[in-house]
């Protein structure tokens, strides 16, 4: 979300400004990679009663408006604010998720015959974190 102000971001995306949308954007600013359950707890602390369906509706609107990115790393899906482009690495063992700076190398070449103009690339690396790898000593 380029603007630091959720209200500005919502208006810039031609979305109605609601307290639920502001709360979700604010929660994601402080808790990147949150899932719906985590977001629900955070938003409910701020607003009181908010249904899970309302959270899904807000996340769908924010994702469709390209303010939020849905990360399909397995179950459950996680969400983050859109900002600078970066990749992700996820642990197959515990599900830990981390941002990885994107390499400066260009994306893979797509044959022109396919007719695509690439406007976004998502890269998800999978593996085992140090805590889940056998034989890795932890101090």
Q: What residues are designated binding site?
A: 87, 91, 94, 129, 132
Among 89, 91, 66, smallest CA distance to 15 is for 66
Binding site listing for Zn(2+) = 91, 94, 129, 132
Binding site listing for Fe cation = 87
Euclidean distance between CA atoms 65 and 17, whole angstroms: 13
Among 39, 82, 87, smallest CA distance to 63 is for 82
Euclidean distance between CA atoms 36 and 42, whole angstroms: 10
Query: According to the 3-state scheme, what is the secondary structure of 10-39?
Result: HHHCCCCCCHHHHHHHHHHHHCCCEEHHHH
């Amino acid at each position: 979300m380029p603007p630091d102000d959720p209200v500005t971001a919502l208006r810039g995306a031609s979305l109605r400004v609601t307290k639920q949308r502001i709360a979700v954007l604010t929660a994601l600013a402080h808790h990147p990679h949150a899932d719906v359950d985590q977001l629900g707890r955070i938003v409910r602390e701020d607003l009181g009663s908010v249904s899970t369906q309302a959270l899904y509706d807000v996340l769908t609107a924010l994702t469709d408006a390209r303010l939020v990115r849905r990360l399909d790393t397995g179950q459950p899906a996680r969400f983050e604010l859109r900002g600078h482009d970066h990749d992700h690495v996820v642990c197959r063992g515990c599900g830990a998720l981390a941002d990885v700076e994107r390499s400066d190398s260009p994306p893979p070449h797509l044959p022109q015959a396919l007719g695509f103009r690439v406007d976004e690339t998502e890269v998800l690396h999978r593996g085992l974190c140090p805590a889940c790898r056998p034989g890795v000593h932890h101090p």
